[in-house]
Amino acid sequence: MLLLEESDVVDGVCDGLVDAAENLGMFPEIARQIQQLSFKKMASIPDLEVIVSRDVALTARILRLANSPYYGGRRTVTALRHALVSIGYVDAVQISLALAMTSVLVRHPRSHLVMAHSARTAVIARELARHTRALEPPEAFVAGMLHDLGKVVLLEAVGQSYAEVLERPGLTEPERLAAERHLAHVDHAVLGEQCLKRWRFSCGTTLAVRNHHQPEMTHGLEGRPAFCADALIALADWVEHAYTDSGTSGLAAAIVAHPCNVPLEIDDARAVEAVDVIQTELSALSG
């Protein structure tokens, strides 16, 4: 008789859930096209413009971003080409990719439980990344935006019983992860990583997503900045919750003292600057 190991069961369940995510259109054609562009050495802004301009909602979100405090100049940008130029090609490809995916994810009926938090975490991760070498800011934006992708997949695949887990008050994060493994044999961090691996996202992004609730997994590789990506996303995730619960009071000092900051080494002055920018950016996002 063939005995299956626990890891075989998890792999099988995970593959099935990633298939389900694909069938639900969570990696849409436009995201696939933008990603293929990112692999081409000779591509440039006009190529990206051709793809993005086919999607009205995505175009509107790129324009809004180009006019946000982070990128915005003194003049309002109203043309897609100018928006992409002001963001810069490399950043624009990564950001368009994350926005193309979230445009689809937000259409799923209960994704509001996840996506507003994800959009704010993306902005925070990008700002924190400016003060570390853990991830490039656009990659941090993508990882922040997609770090809880596994939750949206579980909402769709498991349904109401998982929505109840997400909405249950007083549950700690380890308890929530355990509940996910009980319901689906896999937690949202591993599931998100498996989706992004299948869809050929970068190693830094997939690693950050997998370990965003256990960043100590890679602290043994301290000193190699690429492996601090998980600590950066874990810290951004924590900052989003802290900002939402208590605003900016004491936030800079808490960032400096946070265990995830050990490999990131954000100092007092940089933390104060980051909190200032985060406040401006998040106010603009909610406005």
Contact residues for Fe ion, defined by CB under 5 A: 148, 237
Cα 69–71–76 angle (5° rounding)?
80
Distance in Å, CB of 225 to Fe ion, minimum: 22
Between residues 189 and 252, which has the closer beta carbon with respect to Fe ion? 189
Helix intervals (H) in the chain:
6-23, 29-38, 45-52, 56-66, 80-87, 89-105, 112-129, 137-146, 149-158, 160-167, 173-184, 188-198, 203-210, 229-246, 251-257, 261-264, 268-286
Name which of 48 and 146 has its Cβ closer to Fe ion: 146
CB of 219 to Fe ion, least distance (A): 18
What whole-number distance in Å separates Cα of residue 102 and Cα of residue 28? 10
Taking Cα atoms as reference points, which of 84, 162, 149 lies closest to residue 119? 149
Q: From CA 132, how far away is CA 225, in angstroms rounded?
A: 8
What's the closest the beta carbon of residue 283 comes to Fe ion, in angstroms? 20
Q: And the tokens for 93? A: 């490809």
Dihedral sign (CA 194, 140, 265, 236): negative
In the bound complex, what is the minimum distance in angstroms from residue 51's beta carbon to Fe ion? Answer: 29
For Fe ion, give the closer residue by CB, 152 or 271: 152
State the nearest-atom distance from the C-beta of 267 to Fe ion, in Å: 25
